[in-house]
Amino acid sequence: MDALKSWRLDGLVAHFYQTQCGIVGISSGQMVEEFFSTRHLTKESNATNIVLIPKSSNLESFKSFSPICLCNVH
């Protein structure tokens, strides 16, 4: 895969995963192992923020916004 292309909806390009695996890979792996041993996810694992981005300067209703979800990734 091209290092500057994104294959996931989170928008992170392959280059991020290729270069940061040594940093985020260990904690991500530990979280997965903990889930399979305890069958429990921490509350923070599902934390998200919903943000409304205005589509134009004429904001008359919710249809004037594009919602995006900012997920907390460990």
- Among the listed ranges 2-11, 37-46, 58-67, which one has the minimum average pLDDT value? 2-11
Q: Do 33 and 58 share a domain, yes or no?
A: no
Asked if 58 and 35 sit in the same domain, the reply is no
Residues of the domain holding 73: 44-74
The reply to whether 16 and 50 lie within a common domain is no
Task: Name residues whose C-beta falls within 8 Å of residue 41's C-beta, 6 or more positions apart in sequence.
Answer: 35
pLDDT band at 74 (very low <50, low <70, confident <90, very high): very low
Domain count along the chain: 2
pTM value surpassing 0.85:
no
The tens digit of pLDDT for each residue in 18-45 reads: 788 787 778 778 888 888 999 888 777 7
Indicate whether 10 and 36 sit together in one domain.
Answer: yes
Task: Sort residue 40 into left (φ over 0), alpha (ψ -120 to 50) or beta.
Answer: beta
Share of the chain above pLDDT 70, in %: 73
Task: Answer yes or no: do 5 and 29 share one domain.
Answer: yes
Phi first, then psi, for residue 64 (nearest 5°) are: -80, 0
Same domain flag for 36 and 48? no
